[in-house]
Amino acid sequence: MTLLVTGGAGFIGTNFVLDWLAQSDEPVINLDKLTYAGNLESLASLQGDARHVFVPGDIGDSALVNSLLASYRPRAVLNFAAESHVDRSIHSPEDFIQTNIVGTFRLLEAVRAYWSGLAADEKSAFRLLHVSTDEVYGSLGAADPAFTETHRYQPNSPYSASKAASDHLVRAYHHTYGLPVLTTHCSNNYGPYHFPEKLIPLLIVNALAGIALPVYGDGMQVRDWLYVKDHCSAIRRVLQAGRLGETYNVGGWNEKPNIEIVHTICDLLDELVPPATRNLPFASYRALITSVKDRPGHDRRYAIDASKLERELGWTPAETFDTGIRKTVQWYLANPEWVAHVQSGAYRAWVQTQYAAA
């Protein structure tokens, strides 16, 4: 009994691998391309653990994926591998097309060939779980109901369009070939090991350094926030009992505007590490909040209706936003070396370019 996890050195993949091996002795084969956001240091606690086999490589490398499937004979493949940053997709969309569309296609082809050759009992037990995003659904108005699994796809960025395409491929492989697939759509994740270009870790890292906290436009863009370990528990549950061919929305029931997130983090840091303890010349980290030009095509609101997952599979998030964000801030405070090591000169240049003051 083995799992093949793709993208298992990224933010969500790392948390899934760590959580899985904390609860199970079933081995994980971890395939990751190790782009800028893939970080083996996040998996350092598994060094020497025979249950974790890391393989550097691309889901688009058919020969490698075929070899891993033949060698390890996994009972399931979980696809976390994706280029996932909207801003990067606006500046460099081709990487997103290659990984999210072409890579998913090649993974599906390899998995289909492997699954077709399994014995009847192994074939019926096999699963491919594809991890997607709520961004494929587009943007909601302030009074619109939250996204359900039947919501029309209306992607608005190269990133979300590439993920929408991958979702359609996964669905087609189920309906055309009978491949036993499951798809999940998550809302905005946050938590440990998050690369500091995304909103929450960027705010924490910048505040502690006493530099500007960039807020796009008026900061009233609304997102549903999901603690990453809750996301991992949902994926485990869908893998265990999800209906074949179905999609499941995974959300935290935490709709909040971005500016409220910024204020919450500032207030937590004011409590846990007051600016005076870091020799910063202000009484509150809120003094660092800086408005920057809004990004092109910025979706105004996302909201996930996760009631299908609760109704069919009995899953609900364990964390509220208040408990999850406190755990997240405390993790970053406790792991300054991890943060320092991911902040390369190239990363700092990227942030400076992306968040130029309005």
Measure the CA–CA gap between 68 and 83, rounded to whole angstroms. Answer: 22
Q: Of residues 32, 134, 149, 299, which has the active-site annotation?
A: 134
Measure the CA–CA gap between 279 and 266, rounded to whole angstroms. Answer: 16
Measure the CA–CA gap between 227 and 95, rounded to whole angstroms. Answer: 27
Cα-based angle 151, 236, 84 (whole degrees, multiple of 5): 55
Q: Of residues 159, 173, 190, 248, which has the active-site annotation?
A: 159
Backbone φ and ψ for 292, nearest 5 degrees, come out as -125, 160
Give me 308's structure tokens. 């299908």
Q: Of residues 135, 167, 230, 305, which has the active-site annotation?
A: 135
Sheet with 3-6: strands ordered across = 52-56, 28-32, 3-6, 76-79, 127-133, 181-186, 247-250
Residue with tokens 């037990």: 125
Annotated active-site residue 122? The verdict is no
DSSP 8-state code for residue 275? G
Annotated active-site residue 134? The verdict is yes
Q: Could you tell me which of 338, 345, 350, 327 has the C-alpha nearest to residue 14?
A: 338
Annotated active-site residue 58? The verdict is no
Just list the catalytic residues: 134-135, 159
